[in-house]
Amino acid sequence: MRCPYCGTLDTQVKDSRPTDDSAAIRRRRVCPDCNGRFTTFERVQLRELTVIKKSGRRVPFDRDKLARSFETALRKRPVEPERVERMVNGIVRQLESSGESEIDSGKIGELVMEGLKSLDSVAYVRFASVYRNFREARDFGTLIDELNEEAPELPKAALKPVAGGE
């Protein structure tokens, strides 16, 4: 592992332990050249995944981009970070264990939508509006109506579209 301070490649591990969710290993490292100390987090990767974009372009799967999608949709929403991390880990495991090395970006988007639906309905609507490329206000209303039909136990006011200043 390269030292972030001086660039030396030969750093030493001083401590290793699993993270709280056991999805990664936290390693405390020290550089023998500059005595710099830093932490790395290492995850097991079952296979290299490639994402096939709508344009047909192929890009390497980026777990951090997946996590940022959740963070953006959930911004200022009362959802614990641990639940988000578990959701991201679950999607990554599902993709890695699918047996496919190339995954359509639409499949990832649908998995994110499913995850957000179970975490927070507002974040779900936020993500869906971008993912499904909403063009008009009625697109929001249609999605909210679908949510209300699927989850009748939710109070209707929680997902009720607001019309002109009411």
Domain locations along the chain:
12-43, 50-159
User: Any residues with CB less than 8 A from the CB of 110 and at least 6 apart, and which?
Assistant: none
Name the packing angle between helices 63-73 and 81-96 (round to 10°): 140
The pLDDT tens digits of the residues spanning 16-58 come to 998 776 777 899 999 999 999 999 988 766 568 999 998 999 9
pTM score above 0.75? no
Is 91 in contact with 108 (CB distance < 8 Å)?
Answer: yes
The pLDDT tens digits of the residues spanning 84-93 come to 989 998 999 8
For residue 116, what is the DSSP state? H
Q: CA nearest 38: which of 84, 81, 6, 82?
A: 6
